[in-house]
A and B are shown apart, each in its own frame.
Chain A
Amino acid sequence: MIEVKDLVKKYGDTTAVDHLTFTVEPGRITGFLGPNGAGKSTTMRLILGLDRPTSGTAFIDGKPYRELRDPLRYVGALLEARAVHGGRTAFNHLLYLAQTQGVPKRRVGEVLDLVGLGPVAGKRTKGFSLGMGQRLGIAAALLADPQILILDEPVNGLDPEGIVWIRDLLKALAAAGRTVFVSSHLMNEMAVTAEHLIVIGRGRLQADMPVTQFIAQFSDTAVLVRTPSALEFRAAVEGRGWKVTPAPQDGSLIVTGSTAEQIGELAAERGLVLHELTPQRASLEEAFMELTRESGEFAHRPVPPMRAGAPGTPVAEESQTMQEVSDGRQQ
């Protein structure tokens, strides 16, 4: 179990982690989510005793990491930046880590085989691809068979097969009663992996709840409506207290705070003609963006609309639609 209590980390004037409090329970995968620069890696480094907190505490099974006497048997960690000397072979990198805790040498070969690096065990790691480096990091994390896994962006650089593999691995570990704490900036990845979510933005806790509750709470549905009698329709909908915003194209409208059924019934009641009535699928990704839109350190402007026919047009339109949808909800 990982317990973070009122954790603060400041670098000069910048507050990277701002009074974070949460608990990571064993037996399930807890996703740690936030945009780039939200403070995920810093929080993990604080939990692992690599950085000193400005204030607050982080405990592993009731103790600070630095007081663990055989830390690798408690916690296996994969950090975002590569923590390997490129001139050392994969085997020797794991061997010295194993020796610090008295892990038998044969275990090194076992974990290398487990992550699929058996054939390159004797190769120096500077020639490794990002994905291989990531697998080596995972091997190091699993080396001493720890009860807790802390993985910072484990799917980075992995191919689709590798992503499925790590997903299954994490699920198996959680099913075996281990504590699994995984960070990501990709909401959809977390949606299929994690059961519980801790979301941060600008170092502050934004949400700490099961994935299902997160979706229900943060993704209210939007419905796209096209109607020739836009003015009357708008008045009717706003009369019910729902919100209407014009969609970017062809004068259609986006209604939020209601369902397609309710809107259809309202239109029938008032005798208004509808040409289209489409529920917009509110994904977890949108819910996440909605929640953290204001809190990303590197908040960016929406992609400007591109000239028709220019490469990338569909992408631009799609992202703009999404932007408008969330703008609508903000008003």
Chain B
Amino acid sequence: MAASSSSSILAPVAADGAGTGHAHFGRLLLAEWTKLRSVRSTYWSLILLIIVFPFFCWLFPYLTVANWKQASATQQANLMLDPIGQVMAPGQYLGQLSVAVLGVMVSASEYSTGMVRSTLLASPHRVRMLAAKSVVFFLLVLVIGEVVSFAGFFIGRQTLKSLITVNLNSGDIRQVVGGGLYLAMLGLFALVLGSLIRHVAGAITGIVALLLVVSGLISLIPGRTGKYLYTYEPTNAGFAIIAKHVPDNFLLSPWEGYGVFALWTAVLWVLAAWLLERRDA
């Protein structure tokens, strides 16, 4: 009786039907990739990025060209000094929001939906899971980020053609490549923040406030302290990668700035990993 009912009600599992081997890093990478590509928020956020980034790389140069005669001497000088930076900045500034939101969702939504319990049952080695998630998301945003950066650059360059010829010298390519690098690091930064805060709305509020309010407000603090705070605020530090020349109140070179952003992200990542191990899921 038991035998007959067991054969009818249990799925016939062939020898090796459930696979073998353990939950190693490669498998977790594949699983995290599946998770990422199987929810709509990923598509919506990235489609938004793909539309918004190049659009603003077109809009601002277009307005510049249209209003060139009324533009002040400083505005004209700024464009001539750093045309790539002027093209990239608007797209970067607005495009970064969708990456930040997606980064938070990727980690924090696991907590809001309770799915993190399924994830951790499958991968009780929690740090390995966080590492796999980080790698997959960083690489995805890096690829899409580079595509939109180059698209934005070429669109902006076309738009400015009547005013200035922008060449992509080996010295300037850092500014365009940097667009993708910045977005990828920002995505990881947001993912880590979401993992620390474990609450979608809270973490999104935090990162958007950092990007749109704190980063700017901080530059109003006078003196050397103000310069330090402005320079070492993580997103300001990272954003410098797309500028030809850093602003006067920025104390580092563009690459150093990006290094500071990466360091911030790394420190928070380690903190997130430590808390992930310790906290109840």
A→B interface (CB under 8 Å)? 45, 48-52, 65-73, 75, 77, 79, 81-89, 92-93, 95-104, 107, 110-111, 113-114, 140, 142-145, 165, 168-169, 171-173, 175-176
Q: Apart from A50-B117, A73-B19, A100-B28, what are 18 other A-B pairs with CB-CB below 8 Å?
A: A65-B124, A71-B123, A83-B115, A83-B118, A85-B110, A86-B113, A96-B31, A99-B30, A102-B23, A104-B19, A107-B17, A110-B12, A111-B11, A143-B18, A169-B9, A172-B6, A172-B9, A176-B10
Whether A85 and B113, one on each chain, are in contact in the complex, defined by CB atoms closer than 8 angstroms, is yes
Bound complex: CA of A111 vs CA of B13, how far in Å?
A: 10
Using A71-B23, A83-B117, A176-B10 as known contacts, say yes or no to A100 and B122 having CB atoms under 8 A apart. Answer: yes
Identify the 4 closest CB pairs spanning chains A and B, nearest first.
A69-B22, A175-B2, A92-B38, A172-B6
Whether B23 and A101, one on each chain, are in contact in the complex, defined by CB atoms closer than 8 angstroms, is yes
Could you tell me which residues of chain B, from 159 to 211, have a CB within 8 Å of some CB in chain A? none
Whether B6 and A176, one on each chain, are in contact in the complex, defined by CB atoms closer than 8 angstroms, is yes
Q: Say yes or no for B121: interface residue by CB 8 A criterion.
A: yes
Whether A100 and B6, one on each chain, are in contact in the complex, defined by CB atoms closer than 8 angstroms, is no
Whether A73 and B18, one on each chain, are in contact in the complex, defined by CB atoms closer than 8 angstroms, is yes
Q: How far is the CB of B126 from chain A (nearest CB, A)?
A: 8
B→A interface (CB under 8 Å)? 2-3, 5-6, 9-13, 17-23, 27-28, 30-32, 34-35, 38-41, 109-110, 113-118, 120-125, 278, 280-281
Chain B residue with Cβ nearest A95: B34
Q: Which of B3, B27, B41, B114 contacts A81 (CB 8 A)?
A: B114
Bound complex: CA of A113 vs CA of B30, how far in Å?
A: 24
Bound complex: CA of A98 vs CA of B113, how far in Å?
A: 19
Whether B117 and A49, one on each chain, are in contact in the complex, defined by CB atoms closer than 8 angstroms, is no
Whether B124 and A70, one on each chain, are in contact in the complex, defined by CB atoms closer than 8 angstroms, is no
Whether B22 and A70, one on each chain, are in contact in the complex, defined by CB atoms closer than 8 angstroms, is yes
Which residues in A have their C-beta under 8 angstroms from that of B122?
71-72, 97, 100-101
Bound complex: CA of A88 vs CA of B123, how far in Å?
A: 19
Bound complex: CA of A79 vs CA of B118, how far in Å?
A: 9
Q: How far is the CB of A156 from chain B (nearest CB, A)?
A: 15
Which residues in B have their C-beta under 8 angstroms from that of A71?
23, 121-124
Q: How far is the CB of A58 from chain B (nearest CB, A)?
A: 12
Which residues in B have their C-beta under 8 angstroms from that of A169?
9-10
